[in-house]
Amino acid sequence: MRPDSSVVTETIAAPNHDARRGGARPEILLLHYTGMESGATALERLSGEEAQVSSHYFVEEDGRIVQLVPEERRAWHAGVSWWRGRDDVNSRSIGIEIVNPGHEHGYRAFPAAQIDAVIRLCRDCVARWAIPARNVLGHSDVAPTRKEDPGELFPWDQLFRSGVGHWTEPAKATGGRFLTLGDRGQPVEAYQGLLAAYGYLQEINGTFDEATRSNTFAFQRHFRPSRVDGIADMGSITTLHRLLTSLPTLG
Ligand SMILES: [Zn+2]
């Protein structure tokens, strides 16, 4: 296999991939953590046949980048997922697995060398495929009820400062008015409208239900990581406002 990117260190041809459906092209860059005890076990799983999963890229903690699936093919990393009106995220994305034990096996900070490598890889993919900033996402953004990777320790702010993704300075987590599970009414409806406008799969029904809470968790992990509790406090809602008003007009 010929690597698609000059930043690739090594290639391993993984067997699990198929054609992108309906002629889709990569328009989303989807970031994951591996969520397994070791990088070696995760690489074995993603490059083997049995687990029926794969990703285009795999980034080791020391910054080595392994390509497993050619970008023109559909890798199997997103599962049931949705963003900005589209499902089958696998057909529309490039998937990057980043070694980290994850919340179940001792979640820890991502080493600097690894993040440098992720940034180099993302910049390269975004440039070659013209991927919009707001479509550089975490797995939890597109599958909020099932997934929490890459999680609140992932430095989205640093990526943004390096020209990757969309982000704004988060508003402080504060006391005062908030929306939480079971709340109903117009403020909930307005908040749901903001989540939906940004791209989350959010029904606007005026009830802060489990789905609204899952989206709130996902939103906080990505954009307001200092407090991830599934409660839409004013800081969280203000941050979401700032994101929407700072969206690039194109893409
Ligand atoms: Zn994932």
pLDDT digits over 130-178, tens only? 999 999 999 999 999 999 999 999 999 999 999 999 999 999 887 788 9
What global pTM score does this model have? 0.97
Lowest mean pLDDT among 6-10, 175-179, 232-236: 175-179
- Centroid of ligand 1 to alpha carbon of 186 (angstroms): 34
CATH topology of domain 178-245: Muramoyl-pentapeptide Carboxypeptidase; domain 1 (1.10.101)
Q: Average per-residue pLDDT in the chain?
A: 96
Tell whether domain 10-161 is in CATH 3.10.20.70: no
CB-CB contact of 221 with 230 (8 Å)? no
Q: For this structure, is 97 an active site residue?
A: yes
- For 148, the token pair is 């929490």
Q: Express each pLDDT in 170-191 by its tens digit.
A: 998 877 889 999 999 999 999 9
**What are the φ/ψ torsions at residue 100 (nearest 5 degrees)?**
-170, 135
> In the prediction, which pLDDT does 220 show?
98
User: Which of 27, 60, 71, 97 is the catalytic position?
Assistant: 97
- Give CA angle at 87 (183, 235), nearest 5°: 35
> In the prediction, which pLDDT does 248 show?
76
- Centroid of ligand 1 to alpha carbon of 3 (angstroms): 22
Q: Where are the domains of the chain?
A: 10-161, 178-245
- For 189, the token pair is 């409806």
